[in-house]
Amino acid sequence: MVQLDDLRSVQESYKEETEAVDAFVASRVGEMTQQLDAYIQRLDEQVLQLHNQLQGGASHFEDPSAVKSELESVKQRLTQLDELSKQYTEYQTLFNLMAFKYLNLQATQEHFATVESLWTAVEKWNELYQTAMTSPFFEVNAEELSKDAAVAFKDAYALHKKLSNDVTAVLKDRTAEFKLNIPTVLELGNPAMKDRH
C-alpha cells in the first residue's frame, strides 16, 4: 500500500514536471521560430553573395588555376549552406511550420555547376591551344586536333548561350578563330602532302 502511494506521488510529480516543460516549450517556440527565421534569412543572403561571387573572372582566362581554387572554396561553402538548409528544414518540421523553399540556394548550385564546367572548358581549351601551337607540326595529329577544336567550339557556344558573360565570350571568340584555321591545318597535316608541295 505504501508503494502504491509512492507510485502515485511520483506519477503526480512527473505530470507536474511534464506540464511545466510543455509550458516552457510553448513559451519559447515563438522566440525560437523568430530566431530560426533570422537564420534562414541570413543563409539566403549568404547564398546570394556566393552567387554574385561566381560572376566574372575574365582576367584569369590564361591561367584559370586561381579561379579553380576559388571555385573549390565556393563549392565547400555551398555544401555547408546546403547542410544548414536541411537542418533548418528539420527544425521547421519540429515546430510544425511550412518548410522554406531554398530557391536561391538551388539556383546558385545550378549556376555553380555551369560556372565550374565553364572553367574546366577554359582549362581544356588552353591546354589544347598550347599543345597545338608549341608542338612540332609533324607531331600534331591534324584529324584529332580538328575534332577537339570542333568539340571545344560547340562547348564554348553552349556555355555562352547559358551564361553569356565575358569569359564565355572570350572562349567562344578564341575557339571560333582557331576553328577557322583548321582547314589549313588539315591540308598541311595530310599524309599525302609531300615536301615538294
Give the whole-angstrom CA distance, residue 119 versus residue 129: 15
User: Is the pLDDT at 195 greater than 70, yes or no?
Assistant: no
Res 95: pLDDT: 86
pTM, full prediction: 0.81
Please, which pLDDT band fits residue 196 given cuts at 50, 70 and 90? low
**Phi, psi for 63 (deg, rounded to 5):** -130, 85
Mean pLDDT of the region 161-186: 92
Asked if residues 64 and 126 have their Cβ atoms less than 8 Å apart, the reply is: yes
Say which residue, 192 or 108, is predicted with more confidence. 108
Residue whose C-alpha is closest to residue 122's, from 79, 166, 180: 166
Assigned C-alpha cell, 15: 505530470
**Is 190 strand, coil or helix?**
coil
> Could you read off the pLDDT of 119-142 as tens digits, one per residue?
999 999 999 999 999 988 878 888
Res 131: pLDDT: 92
User: Is the pLDDT at 158 greater than 70, yes or no?
Assistant: yes
Sign of CA dihedral 35, 40, 43, 45: negative
Which CB contacts under 8 angstroms, 24+ apart, belong to 83-88?
84/39, 84/43, 85/43, 88/36, 88/39, 88/40, 88/43
> Could you read off the pLDDT of 18-34 as tens digits, one per residue?
888 778 877 888 888 99
> Could you read off the pLDDT of 58-116 as tens digits, one per residue?
788 888 988 999 999 999 999 999 999 999 999 999 888 899 999 999 999 999 999 99
Res 177: pLDDT: 96
